[in-house]
Amino acid sequence: MTAAGILVLVTGGTIDKTYFDDLSEYKYGSSVISSILVTARVTCPFRLIQIMLKDSLDIDEADRDVIARAISVAPESKIVITHGTDTMAQTAMDLAARGLDKTIVLAGAFMPARFSSSDGAFNVGMAFAAAQTAPSGVYVAMNGSIFPAGGVVKDRAGGTFRRVEPVELLEADFADATAE
């Protein structure tokens, strides 16, 4: 039986980072995703599970297995995953390859959601809309667009995500993400 509403899986990424001036680096505090949804007055039923708080450069196959298991056992058929941008496209492709019969939308941010200039809340809102309207499949919601898994890469130089044809996706497309 499928539960109504959306399952939100928190995995970390810049969206959930905070900035400490004395350290001059980003760190994790507590997740802000719940407060984003409350502030936005989301009325669609949702359930939030924090499964990890990791920079996406640190997410590996074992972590992707954890994410996929959480999706598989969830009664919800609509899933939003907050994820770091560096390996978001890779995780989306991995989840798509697993053939999960659910609508799964990954979203993140280029700046921590705690910052007023962050794109995080907007991207989470886009993910919620896509999860409710898109057919089963895996998608990335970034920069005001919904991209299908396997058809998107992060453009580090441009600070955006861009659509690509699946045949263009080569290991080199992900080399930039793991270089830093």
Residue numbers annotated as active site: 14
Which amino acid, one-letter code, is at 6? I
Q: Give the count of alpha carbons within 13 A of 43, CB side only.
A: 0
DSSP 3-state of 148? strand
DSSP class per residue in 84-140: -SSSHHHHHHHHHHTT-SSEEEEE--SS-TTSTT-SHHHHHHHHHHHHHHSPSEEEE
Q: How many CB atoms lie within 10 A of CB 33?
A: 23
Per-residue DSSP letter, 159: T
Report how far residue 21's alpha carbon sits from residue 119's, in angstroms, rounded to the nearest whole number.
Answer: 21
Residue 33 near residue 82, CB atoms below 8 Å: yes
